[in-house]
Amino acid sequence: MALRSAASAVGNTPLIRIDSLSDRLGCDIYGKGEYMNPGGSVKDRPALRMILEAEKNGELVRGEPGTIVEATGGNTGIALALIGQSLGYNVCLTMVETLSKEKVTFMQTLGAEVVLCPKGPWGGADHYFTVAQRIRDERHAAGERVVFTNQFDNNANTQAHIDTTGPEIAAQLAALGMRLDGFVTASGTAGTISGLASYIKGEAAPAHVKDAVVGCVDCQGSAMFSYLSSRGESLATEGGSVAEGIGKTDVTGNFKRGERCIDAALRGSDAEAYDMAKYLMRHDGIFLGPSGALNVVGAAKLARLLGPGHTIVTILCDSGERYLSSFHNAQAMAAKGFDTAPAPPLAPAQPAATDAPPTALKNKLAGWRRRPENAGADGTLLCGIAETEAFTTRTADGAPRDGLLFLR
């Protein structure tokens, strides 16, 4: 295959079967290998679309000086730096100073200007989003052509997944002769979950995709589980998370666009994501960052809920290479109280469990469909809820179950 540019290589990532989990849970669990994009993450898709939309709207002009400003958890910044610079634009990125050093170094190496901001409340004067807005305003006032892409509320973020990721998954499953029974991913800016939920529940989706259950797996410190399960009445949070780029304490414009297409809210802990990352690295040769690992946790939980014989897809967001000083640094994780022992060997494969999860819970989720009686007054939907208490990570003596959660 010959391509004209790195930008034209964005998308068409492989759908990877996660054999060890699939064989033990009796489901086909697939991950969309988004870490294989040119910029190394799922964020290449919205970054490219946001730039193209800015050009279409005249905010940026190819061949003329222009600056892209974005507030980022890292991956969108890397994608904008890589693609934006290749198209002749300057890129200025604001981010929280506590994020992984690898991401900062990568963005700077790509030629981006990086402004590190203290961690603080959303809307604060020094918050990285506020700083990005201020930089945009100051440079615009100075006469520069500048655009703040604002991935949190930019519809191009969601549309990129409606137009590309969703149809790719549908075509790949069709080629395998499979139907989609469940899709699950975490939410950050919410472009991925809103875009794919909107595609799956939309009129353009083919029949083998459109009846799938769509789940949002939420990390510690995030409010999306509370928001969905309360039908928008609560943004309660608890604790914090080591994950970067996912989890929000407010509702983004992109999330609002697709929330009514989300069927289920699930919780996933940092410990579950960390165990999963080690497990996948040892048993499947897949090396993920925390958000991708949490997504696979969500896929395993959804597989347990739906039972054997179903096909579940999730997003493998980025590579663990971006977290060698943090999430994949044993010393750093041990200091935070995590069990850093390597994943143990797999026990001999056993037939998939036939004991169904609690019937009421399974039916509540698997039978969820767009019914008028399930819609709130504001048009949003009630959600089937999958609590982590329905599963266990450890046996009674504290040992991992077959090296991982849910394999009981």
Nearest to 180 by CA among 152, 160, 199: 199
Task: Tell me how far CA of residue 28 lies from CA of 70, 181, 310, in angstroms.
Answer: 37, 10, 6
Between helix 166-176 and helix 191-200 the angle, nearest 10°, is 50
Chain centroid, CA 296 distance in Å: 10
Separation between Cα atoms, residue 173 and residue 175, nearest integer Å: 5
Whether 302 contacts 366, CB under 8 Å: no
Give the helix/strand (H/E) hosting 302: helix 290-306
Smallest CA-to-CA distance from 225 within 234, 128, 26, 113 is with 234
CA separation for the pair 278, 172 (Å, rounded): 27
Residues 6+ apart with CB under 8 A from 109: none
Tell me which residue of 232, 245, 228 sits closest to 327, measured CA to CA: 245
| Residues 38, 9 contacting (CB under 8 angstroms) | yes
Catalytic residues: 43
